[in-house]
Structure 1
Amino acid sequence: MNPGDVLEARRYAVTRADLVAYADASGDHNPIHQDEAVARSVGLPDVIAHGMYTMALAARAVSDWTGAAEVVELGCKFTRPVVVPADGTVTVRVAGTVKSVDDGLATLALEVTCDGEKVLGMPKAVVRA
């Protein structure tokens, strides 16, 4: 990895079944992630993906790009929900650029979008190069 390298974007399809599986694995059974009526009652447009699930997709892209490299830092702000339709899928796109490589650590600037809108603010990863 070299500073300025553009990492090939990854696309991940998200379904309501994925949200159920994530809720079971994480223990986060907040109904805004599974129940349309509850999601709408709190002002959301529909069921939304867990923020940590969206961040996990970013981590998956980092893993895809770097193989077995150790991730020493991963962070972001949750800025916009990923709305998941009842039927079908929504796609989360993760793109990245190598910002720097110093002392064996590579810093990756990420861009995580859904339907052309950024869903994570200031996402970045630091991996042992």
Structure 2
Amino acid sequence: MPGTTAVRVRYDEVEVGDLLPEATYPVQRLNLVMYAGASGDFNPIHWNERFAKSVGLPDVIAHGMLTMALAGRLVTDWVGDPGAVVDYRVRFSAPVVVPDDDKGAEVTVGGTVKEKLDGGRVLVNLTATSDGTKVLTRADVIVALG
């Protein structure tokens, strides 16, 4: 999946209200199969359309942790160091529905610096949507900046 270019960000260059560059990440059924293999989560709601619909879902849905990882990727691409993430919490508010077509789904992620903390850390609030629906709420990341 294509992402943004990594950029090293320094604490003294960041201000409250700064926006992280928005990114859109494609999600196709193949990504769900690959994630299932990596995570060990083979729940059929993530790969079997008939089963997903039988339990009331509109179609196959992406793994919540995959959605969370895509949102977190915005931050790690912005700061340029995955190890800079100190704390990361989200609430899942809606599933990412992944149709079985060439387009699949997209997750669009944005972020705002909400607070400068002690020790060179910042609190970033993320927004994540798919097909116009907010898929994560209370998505907060604490990042240690150089």
The C-alpha deviation readout for 1:25-59, integer Å capped at 9, x for no partner, is 00000000000011001000000000000000011
Letter in 2 for 1:54: T
- Tell me the number of residue pairs that the alignment of Structure 1 and Structure 2 aligns: 129
Q: State the Cα RMSD in Å.
A: 0.9
Deviant stretches of 4+, over 3 Å: none
| Residue 45 (1) aligns with residue 45 (2) | no
Aligned partner letter, 1:82? V
Q: 2:34 aligns with which of 8, 21, 31?
A: 21
- In the TM superposition, what whole-angstrom CA distance separates every residue of 1:57-78 from its partner, at most 9, and x where no partner exists? 0111111111116101111111
The match for 1:35 is: 48
| Residue equivalent to 1:111 | 127
The one-letter code sitting in structure 2 at the alignment partner of 1:85 is P
Where structure 1 has 5 or more consecutive residues not aligned to the other structure, the ranges are none
Counting only pairs closer than 5 Å after superposition, residues 1-129 of structure 1 correspond to structure 2 as: 1-68=14-81, 70-88=84-102, 89-103=104-118, 104-129=120-145
Which sits farther off after the overlay, 62-71 or 42-51? 62-71
Unaligned runs of 5+ in 2: 1-13
Report the CA distance between 1:101 and its aligned residue: 1.1
Kindly state the Cα deviation for residue 14 of structure 1 after the two structures are TM-superposed.
0.3
- Percent same amino acid at aligned positions? 52
Moved more, 37-46 or 60-69: 60-69
TM-score, length-normalised on structure 1?
0.97
